Structure 1
Amino acid sequence: MPGKQRGSTFSQLRLCLCFLMYCWVLADPVCGYFLKNCTIRGNLSDPSNMKVLCYNRNLEVIPIAIPRKVSNLDLAMNKVSKIEKLDFKGLSNLKILNMPRTQISQVENGALGYLEALQVLGLAHNRLTTLSDYLFQGLANLSLLHLDNNLIATISSSSFQTLSSLKTVNLTKNNLYNMKEVQPIVQLPHLQELYIGSNRFTSFQSQEISNTSIELRLLDLSRNPLGVFRITADVLPYLEVLDIAYCGQLGRMEWDVLNRSFLSNVNRLNLSGIEMSFKRMGMVLQTVNSSLVHLRMQDLLNGSRLKVKALTDIAVQISPILQDSHNSFFSTIKSPTCVFQDLKELWILKLGSNKILTLNDAFMNGLHKLETLNLAGNKLSSIRKGEFKSLTSLKTLLLYDNQIASMEDGAFEGLVNLTELNLGSNKITQTDIRNTVIFSQRHKGLSHLPINFLEGLKSLLSFQAGSLNIKDLHRNTFIHTPRLWFLDISKNEFTALTPKLFRPIPRLNSLYLSKARIQSLDFLIAANLSRVTFLQVSKNDITVVNETVLQSLPALTYLDMQDNPFTCGCSDAWFVQWMESDNQTQVVGAGEFTCNYPADLKDTKLLDVELQFCTVDLGLYCYISTTCLVLLTLVASFAYHFLKWHVIFGYYLFLAFLYDTKQRNKLTPHGCQYDAFISYNAHDKPWVLRELLPELEGKQVWKLCLHHRDFQPGKRIIDNIMDGIYGSRKTICVISHRYLESDFWLFDEQKDVLILVFLEEIPTHQLRTYLSWPRAGEQTGVFWQQLRLALETKDGSAEENPILSGVQAL
């Protein structure tokens, strides 16, 4: 009875717990771990890391069962045109809400007010046109707001009023045209970054945005039709980054900064593509020259060709030297004392895509702190000696996509700290480098890179020399750059490379060799590239990948071999197996590798070809061999234990078989030496000599072997007997009582070991061929006839000679 009571109590308790759990689920239905059309990542017990991913699900409304503890919600790339007031109710823990490309055109007032913990809000690439008064109400913790790529033309004066924690606002590419629209944003107490590029602003004037200083650190005004940039008060004392690239109207953008100290903290300036007279551009640089560390001046266009000139009272002055009403480019950098010498703090200078023809000593002096110089995409035709000698801190030099045809000895003199050099896509046809002068066909590129081309660049980490039409690289090309980490020599015409080329650069990590007409990767085997993690050899002529090649690259994590003419057969079977099983290396586009050979498999996917028969499964063979060995051991053990004497007998029987085979192999090619070996007792010798020999050797002409006549003197008796038996086609035993009692069977041991035991009467037809000598007075003719027939028979079974089977009682 007590047991029953305890059981009943337990059942009631379990039922009660189930009921409570059911009620809890009903009361809080959104705390589950499953959500239709979305993916939940994270743990319910750790809401700070829980993410709900609903991007690109064709959703037309916000899901209603989002877990309340979620901290990150991604609804990007859906079709939610309107955000309803209750869509985010209960999501008070949400910190990140991402909704770009969702076709949102309307957000009801108060719809975002439930997101009191929200810090990041992404509404980019939607269809919003107006930011209303109460749009962001309740988002006191919001710090990052993305509204770029919308259609916003109106911003209510109080829409940003409650965003006291906002630090970054992105309004790029909208329809704003009046700077007063962003005034409420600029005056936020903690705002640091404002992106308002690609709008319709025609002027930027300090009095339009604020009357007091603001904490703004970054201001992006790029790609606006600014006609005026005017600062008349110190409202931007903390500004560090100013981007006015591609601003201006018809080259007449006005720059008016009343005091140089107003922008004294600007250290990054982008003037690329700006439509401004070169005189005013000089004024811009003069304003910020003392603090500037990053200057970008790419794609400069104007109504005149450009000459850069350093003056004594300003950092840089730009003035036209050739008037042209239609075409002009930043073509010449020229100065008697060096153009940029007063930009003493400059770290980065970008002058790409400016059609510069010559450098003219622009970098011979000054710029001692410059670390990055971008001259790519210009019209430079040559590099003279000492052109960059003052740039002792330079780490990155980009000269790709020019028209460089010659380089003098000492072209890179002074660049002791250079780590990255990019000379790709040039037309180098002559290099006047010490002890080396190389010529090739005009505009066909540099066929052989000089041995000392990189001499002096001991700190070089990155070298890019693609599209130079190089056909060969000397084994000592990189002996001057032992620290090289990145090498790009793609789009050349090597066909083959030597392993010794890479041995001086054991630290190499990334190697680009695409479109180099390489037919094999065998050169990598002895190249000492144990640190290479990235290898690109796409679009070459590689047909087979050797196993040893990949074993020589133990650190490889990324392999690009796309667009190679693979041979689909056993030669690539290992490579296929490796791609499918290796967990370290990502083989890019492996599923698209196609066969080029043989013809019947052309254009077939390499991974689809049946190559299992080519591979040897060593594990399976080891398993089978081990299993067989164990079974054999077990069988041998049981056999020896239970069938010991049978095993011993079988062993000796096997030895006898081997001996018999050996003796038979000694026979002459023409047959046996004797027709019969005669075994008899010495007491029967008279009968053998008087009866047997005359008949068989005399009348029937058989050749017999007799021990007293034919045995070899001095040879062991056993050997003579064996030779006699195996040298004769037949053996005739003359059986008599004396024969059975004799020692002939035992040779010289004199022991009676011959015991004939007949357990039953043996029928005569089951006995082997035997003949009995006729009794006294009986005729012997039949006996000799039967003996002749016996000697004439072959070595077949008795059934083949029925006349000799059974007893012939004579």
Structure 2
Amino acid sequence: MGCGVKEDKTTAPGGRKYFELIVFLFLLNIISFVVPITGFALKTCRISYNIAICVRNDLRAVPRDIPSTVEAFDLSSNKISRIQESDFKHLPVLTQLDLNRNYISQIESGAFANLTSLKRLNLNNNKLTELGEDLFHGLSNLTELRIMSNHIKAVASTSFKSMTRLKLLDISHNKLQHITKVHSIIQHLPHLRELYIKNNNLTTFHSWELTNSSLELKYVDLSQNPISVFSVTADVFPNLTWFNIGGSPRKQLMKWDVRNKTFLSRVSTLDISGLQMTFDDIKSLLETVNSSLTSLRMNAMKQHLPALINISCSIPTMSTLQLRYNKLRFVSSGLFKLCINVTELDLTENKIRNIHDSAFRSLQRLRILSLSHNRLSSVPAATRNLPTLGELDLSSNNISKLGCDDFTNQTMLRQLSLYQNSVSALSECVFKDLIRLQVLKLQTNRISNLNGAFQKYFPKLTKLYLNKNELMAIKQGEFRGLQSLQNLSLHENKIDTLENGCFIGLTNLTDILLQKNHIKENELNKGVFNDLINLRRLDLRDNCIKYNSSSALPYAPFSQLFRLETLAIPLQHCKGKSHLPRNFLQGLTNLLVFNARNIQLLSLHKDMFNYTPQLQTLDISSNELMDLSPELFSPIQNLQSLYVSRTSLRSLNYLTDANLTKLQFLQARKNQYSVISEEIIQSLPALVYVDLQGNSFTCGCDNAWLLKWIVNNNQTQVFDAYNFECNYPVNLKGKKLLDLSIQSCSVDIEFIYFISTTCTILLSMVVSFTYHFLRWHLAYAYYLFLAFLFDTKHKNKQAPNQYDAFISYNTHDEPWVIRELLPKLEGEQGWRLCLHHRDFEPGKPIVDNITDAIYGSRKTICVISRRYLDSEWCSREIQVAR
């Protein structure tokens, strides 16, 4: 075989298609990188029970990161001055929106257009001056609109056109000034039931100005307007039942002009407090509602009060009379002589010092009497003549002593309020006739001794309030007569002694409040709570219950309270560190909430919660806990809320092995957590809210996963995440954690897949191109490299050459070589020549034969011809020879 074999120069198939495929895959990966992902870390708000709460955050604009699924949005008490068209477009299921107490002076047209589900809108206490055309467009399902305390002077005719389902409108404390503006509002509200337009500087009211208005109005408030003429000549309020026409501070008499007494004949509740009218006009007003009135408020009346009481009490249907702020001082015997049908009388805030013993004699049907916030020094004897009285309020007076006859014959009394007086002691006989009493309020007095007042007589009492007194001890059997009691408030006293059997008889008690007393741990060890077999809630906060060891107690203090659901024991102003005995919670098999906040706790024994398998909420914040064992949480797999703020814990690693699969709420504020790992979060699959505010975060790659999770996760709300600050390293201290760039930290699997795929495709294309175009060049280069290695290996060896010369020629020149060259060199010169057709080894690769022939010969003779130069193999032979 000669050196005349030529290569195949056919083009590689599919090269362009491979290239187009690579470009497509590259663009596909680029697109995947820029798809936006909405996270659940809100910058200024928090979500609670599907309500976005952004209260008191000094916001100047509506935040745009609120999830579209929220049903209520509270933006009250901020500094928002303008509502833009796009502010609420992404909240299609919102039903309640509260913008109260802002600085809103402008609302763009269409700002509420997308809130088709909204039912309640609060714009109170802002700076709106006018309501423009179609301002409330889109609010077709709104039922309540409150825009009181703005500066509204003008209302466009179509402002309320869209709100056909509105039932309540409060536009009080504005500057409408004329009833025609009210008409332009309510003419578009066919189902309006409640209208509040108090204090709008309305000076006249003429019914003809409200023609064709809402016929469903039942509640109208026109109070505090300086109306000089109130004229009704048409039945514009056919369904009105609640009417407030109370006066304004101005000294201007209102003229009453309602000639047809049937126009207001359905009014059952009337408020004329502070109204300034002539006696005849007030009399005419009361006669207008004579057939239907059941409740009348005449607060702060400046004249004719006794006569007005007589007139109102002459109305046969009138049953509720409110007379606050009238400066009565003394209640005479004849003041209520005609009020035989009154069942509820309110005399609050009248500076009453004395009441005649017969003042209430005619009120034989009275069920509720309020004498609170007066200046009574004792329980008035007049109250003993009320056989049907069910509720008596004597709170906030100057009563210092209770006598045995104060509540004589009050057998029907169900609620008695004596709080905020100066009572210092009780006696055994003081409540002897109150056999039907259900609620007794004695808080905020000076009671230091109960003197057996609750050992009998109270078969139906369910709530007893004794908080904020000066009790120092609860004696044995002190509450023996309260078998029906369910709620007992003893907090904020000076109790330091709980005698054995002090709660005997309280078998139905469910709630007892003992916080802010002087109770110590030795009082609990007596078994004082054993009688409270139905107790559900026990609050011992701010006492001084402190143990020096976690060793088991000989007698667990709550061992009999197997129905207890809530236990709170936080301390305050109690010096020294503390522990909790390992069996402190023994017996509490149904405990749901345990609050051990701020008890200066150093540790928790791993067996602490072995007795509380149902625990759902645990608060151990504000303690000096250095470590928590994962075993501590093993018995409480139902835990849903965990509070571990302000502790000495440096990590949350104990959660990774705690198996808290139901934990939903985690508060871990103001600790020393520097790194929150992926393992911690992944171990809490049900987590929906986490508060890590005020921790010392490390701003580095250790927290790279946390940053990505905060922004990208859609399940867990990370409270105040945008205000997390770096504490390490020093050069980044104070920098916002979420401003940290983590591109250099993360290994993007998708990007790796993209690079791998791209490289594989490119490699396939290169191999294809090489095979089709350069395979012979590569083969030649390979053997040339082998030749170089062979030459390097053998160039210093002096092995004898097999031939004198290797003849390199083209097969077309072979006749000349045989006839001319061979006889000359071999015949005449005696050389031994190597010829490929004669001396090459059969079966051996041609390149190997060429290489062996060249290295086995002293010289190489090349027969150059045109065909030789065109031959690819001949060219390789000469290059190998070189």
Same-fold call, TM cutoff 0.5: yes
> Residue type of the partner of 1:153?
G
- State the Cα deviation string for residues 349-382 of structure 1 (Å, max 9, x = none): 2222223222223655243333322222222224
Measured after TM superposition, the shift of residue 399 of structure 1 is 1.9
The corresponding residue for 2:440 is none
- The 1:342–1:647 alpha-carbon spacing in structure 2 relative to 1, beyond 3 Å, is farther
In structure 2, what is the equivalent of residue 278 of structure 1? Answer: 401
Match of 2:711 in 1: 580
How far off is 1:301 after superposition?
Answer: 4.0
**Corresponding residue number in structure 2 for 1:116:** 215
- The alignment covers a number of residue pairs equal to 654
Q: 2:796 is matched with which residue? A: 675
- The 1:386/1:620 distance shift into structure 2, 3 A limit, reads farther
- Partner residue of 2:524 out of 393, 396, 408: 408
For 2:182, the equivalent position in structure 1 comes to: 87
Residue 571 of structure 1 and its aligned partner are, at CA, apart by 3.2
Q: Which amino acid aligns with 2:217?
A: L
How far apart in 2 are the matches of 1:147 and 1:542? 62
- Correspondence for 1:262 among 370, 388, 396: 388
Task: Say if 2:274 is the partner of 1:153.
Answer: yes
C-alpha change, 1:441 and 1:328, in structure 2 (3 Å) is closer
TM-superposed deviation, 1:426: 2.0
Name which of 330, 339, 342 aligns with 1:211. Answer: 339
Letter in 1 for 2:464: L
Tell me which amino acid in the other structure corresponds to 2:729: P
Shift of 1:447: 0.8
Amino acid of the residue matched to residue 383 of structure 2? Answer: V
Partner of 1:521: 652
Checking the alignment, whether the CA contact within 8 Å between 1:222 and 1:243 is kept in structure 2 is yes
- Contact 1:344 1:367 survives alignment (8 Å): yes
Q: In the alignment, which residue of structure 1 is the partner of 2:543?
A: 426
Q: Any stretches of 5+ residues in structure 1 without a counterpart?
A: 1-33, 317-326, 689-733, 772-797, 799-803
- Superposed, which structure 2 residues align to 1:536-555 within 5 Å? 536-555=667-686
Alignment of 1:368-387 (within 5 A): 368-387=483-502
Q: How far did residue 587 of structure 1 move?
A: 3.5
Q: Could you tell me which residue of structure 1 aligns to residue 116 of structure 2?
A: 42
Q: How does 1:345-384 map to 2 (within 5 A)?
A: 345-361=460-476, 364-384=479-499
- Report the Cα offset of residue 628 of structure 1: 5.6
Amino acid at match of 1:232: R
1:330 deviates by 1.8
Deviations along 1:685-723, whole A, 9 cap, x unmatched? xx79xxxxxxxxxxxxxxxxxxxxxxxxxxxxxxxxxxx
Deviation at 1:71, TM superposition (A): 0.6
Q: 1:78 to 1:313 in 2, by over 3 A?
A: closer
Cross-structure match for 2:449: 332
Residue 120 of structure 1 and its aligned partner are, at CA, apart by 5.5
Which string of whole-angstrom CA distances, capped at 9 and with x for unpartnered residues, describes residues 236-263 of structure 1? Answer: 5665xx7665x33163452532456412
Please report how far the alpha carbon of residue 76 of structure 1 lies from its aligned counterpart in structure 2 after TM superposition: 6.0
Equivalent residue number for residue 60 of structure 1 = 153
Alpha carbons of 1:232 and 1:169: their partners in 2 closer, same or farther (altered >3 Å)?
closer
Matching residue of 2:629: 498
CA deviations on 1:216-238 (whole Å, 9 max, x unpaired) are 6xx77666644467643556566
Instruction: For 2:421 and 2:666, locate their aligned partners in 1 and report how far apart those are by CA, in whole Å.
Output: 40
| 1:774 counterpart residue number | none
Q: Which amino acid aligns with 1:342?
A: Y
The residue type equivalent to 1:414 in the other structure is D
Q: Quote the residue 1:388 is aligned against.
A: 503
Aligned runs of 1:586-665 on 2, under 5 Å? 586-623=717-754, 625=756, 631=761, 635=765
Q: Which residue, out of 861, 867, 881, partners 1:760? A: 867
Q: In 2, distance between residues paired with 1:612 and 1:167?
A: 74
Between 1:534-543 and 1:152-161, the stretch displaced more is 152-161
Question: For residues 748 and 461 of structure 1, do their structure 2 counterparts lie closer, same or farther at Cα, with a shift above 3 Å needed?
Answer: closer
Cα distance in 1 between the residues matched to 2:301 and 2:693: 41
Change beyond 3 A, Cα 1:634–1:347: farther
Shift of 1:514: 3.5
The alpha-carbon deviation at position 616 of structure 1 amounts to: 4.5
Task: Give the deviation of 1:142 after TM superposition.
Answer: 5.5
| Structure 1 residues 92 and 389: CA distance shift in structure 2, 3 A | same
Q: CA deviation at 1:166?
A: 9.3
In the alignment, the residues of structure 2 paired with residue 209 and residue 528 of structure 1 have an alpha-carbon distance, to the nearest angstrom, of 73
For residue 614 of structure 1, report the CA deviation from its aligned partner. Answer: 3.7
Check if 1:306 corresponds to 2:432: no
Alignment of 1:111-150 (within 5 A): 114-119=213-218, 138-139=236-237, 141=239
Q: CA RMSD in A?
A: 5.7
8 Å contact kept, 2:148–2:174: no
TM-score, normalization by structure 1: 0.63
Report whether the alignment pairs 1:464 with 2:595. yes
- Cα 1:494–1:748 change in 2 (3 A) is closer
**Secondary structure in 2 matching 1:309:** coil
- Residue matched to 2:375: 249
Q: What is the rounded CA distance, in whole Å, between the counterparts of 1:257 and 1:60 in structure 2?
A: 51
AA paired with 2:361? T
Assess, with a 3 A threshold, how the Cα gap between structure 1 residues 119 and 276 changes in structure 2: closer, same or farther.
Answer: same
Q: Which has the larger radius of gyration?
A: 1
Distance in 1 separating the partners of 2:779 and 2:622:
76
Q: Tell me if the contact between 1:37 and 1:54 (Cα under 8 Å) persists in the aligned partners.
A: no
For residue 741 of structure 1, what is the aligned residue in structure 2?
838
Which AA in structure 1 matches 2:475? N
Give the deviation of 1:98 after TM superposition: 7.2
TM-score normalised by length of structure 2: 0.59
Between the aligned partners of 1:604 and 1:735, the Cα distance in structure 2 is 88
Give the AA of the match of 1:415.
Answer: L
CA contact (8 A) 2:656 2:683 kept: yes
Q: Which residue of 1 aligns with 2:361?
A: 232
Residue in structure 2 matched with residue 287 of structure 1 by the alignment: 410
1:702 alignment counterpart = none
Unaligned runs of 5+ residues in structure 2 are 1-106, 118-136, 250-272, 436-443, 558-570, 806-830, 854-861
* Contact 1:254–1:280 under 8 Å retained in 2: no
- Inter-partner Cα distance in structure 1 for 2:636 and 2:221: 46
Q: 1:423-456: CA deviations, max 9, x gaps? A: 222222469953589xx99931661123333333
1:403/1:427 contact within 8 Å kept: yes
Q: Which amino acid aligns with 1:471?
A: L
Structure 2 Cα separation of the partners of residues 149 and 515 of structure 1: 55
Q: Contact 1:139–1:162 at 8 Å: present in 2 too? A: no
Distance 1:186 1:582 in 2: 67
2:739 and 2:292 map into 1 onto residues whose CA distance is 57
Query: Deviations 1:510-561 (Å, cap 9, x if unpaired)?
Result: 3334333443333333334433433333333333333333333444444333
- The 3-state SS of whatever aligns with 1:760 is helix
Please give the alpha-carbon distance, in whole angstroms, between the structure 2 residues aligned to 1:132 and 1:340. 62
Letter in 1 for 2:339: N
More contact order relative to length (CA 8 Å, sep ≥ 6): 2
Number of the residue aligned with 1:320: none
- Describe the SS at the equivalent of 2:473: coil
